[in-house]
Amino acid sequence: MPEETILETRDLVKEFAGFVAVNGVSLRVARGSIHALIGPNGAGKTTVFNLLTRFLPATRGAILFNGEDVTHARPADVARRGIVRSFQMSAVFPALTALENVRIALQRPLGTSFHFWRSERTLQALDARAVELLAAVGLEADRDTVAVELPYGRKRALELATTLALDPELLLLDEPTQGMGHEDVGRVVALIRHVAAGRTVLLVEHNLSVVQDLARRVTVLARGAVLAEGSYDEVSRDPAVLEAYIGAPA
């Protein structure tokens, strides 16, 4: 039985003034899986993320989420439909506390985010859930710490907790272990596995052991196009992939 597809792209193309960053990428991400997007620097991985979340408009091609065309949706709308991304550099709100960071994400469904006449105390109803989410990533002791003061690994954990607050169907993680020490990487891998339960994760990652550990399916991009796709073992033996990574003809 074929797996249900949550996200599909058809011949996605992004051109920047004569330079083709993404060239005819067709992806299928199966619901409930962890799918990794790998490739050498400049392969177009982050650009694909920006296209999927509509941070950049696609030049051509289509994006389907749950069978619906989201190629022309607005970025905030894409997020509300359930595609939530993280960023390559940690994306927290630096001057807010850890609790406030998570609460920003929880706040939107209340429908009072434009209510400038209402007291902020109405947000305290969200504190319990925010603390739960912080605890899920091991940050319960840091709830009142201003985000800018958290060490790097904890910032990434906070970012993940904020993302999870939206309960997204599809999580796009852009290099979640970038710039991390060995111990932090292990923590984040465990965390991703934990949060992937019951949802779909599309992951851009340079650390191949993380990819091997986590991803059921791997798509290799090179120069904006899909070079290979399959399980980690399959693609890691693919001569074209080896050439793209190491530069040696197989």
Partner 1 sequence: MSAPALRRLAWAAMVLLGLAAPYLVYPVFAMNVLCLALFASAFNLLLGYAGLLSFGHAAFLGAAAYVTGITLRTWGLPTELGVLAGTAVATLLGLVFGALAIRRSGIYFAMITLGFAQLVYFLVVQLPWTGGEDGLQGIPRGKALGLLALDGPVTTYYFVYVAFLAGFWLIQRAIHSPFGHVLRAIRENEPRALSLGYDVAHYKLLAFVLSAALSGLAGSLKAVVLQFASLSDVHWHRSGEVVLMTLLGGMGTVLGPSVGALLVVTLENYLADVGSWVTVITGAVFVACVLAFRRGIVGEVRALVRRSFIGGKP
* Contact residues: partner 1, CB under 8 A: 53, 55, 74-77, 79-80, 84-87, 91-96, 100, 103-105, 107-108, 110, 112-120, 122-123, 146, 149, 162, 166
Nearest approach, Cβ of residue 170 and partner 1 (Å): 13
How open is the CA angle 144-149-151, to the nearest 5 degrees?
110
Q: Measured from the CB atom, is 24 or 75 closer to partner 1? A: 75
- Shortest CB 15 distance to partner 1, Å: 22
- Judged by CB, which is closer to partner 1: 120, or 183? 120
Q: Which is nearer to partner 1, 95 or 197 (CB)?
A: 95
- Count the Cβ atoms, other than its own, within 10 Å of residue 21: 20
For partner 1, the closer CB: 107 or 212:
107
Which of 78, 57, 71 has the alpha carbon at shortest distance from 10? 71
Rounded CA separation 25/210 (Å): 23
Q: Work out how close the CB of 80 gets to partner 1 at its nearest, in angstroms, rounded to a whole number.
A: 4
Residues 6+ apart with CB under 8 A from 184: 152, 153, 156, 177
Q: What angle do CA 18, 20, 25 make, to 5 degrees?
A: 155
φ and ψ of 71, to 5 deg:
-60, -35
Q: Smaller CB distance to partner 1: residue 110 or 135?
A: 110
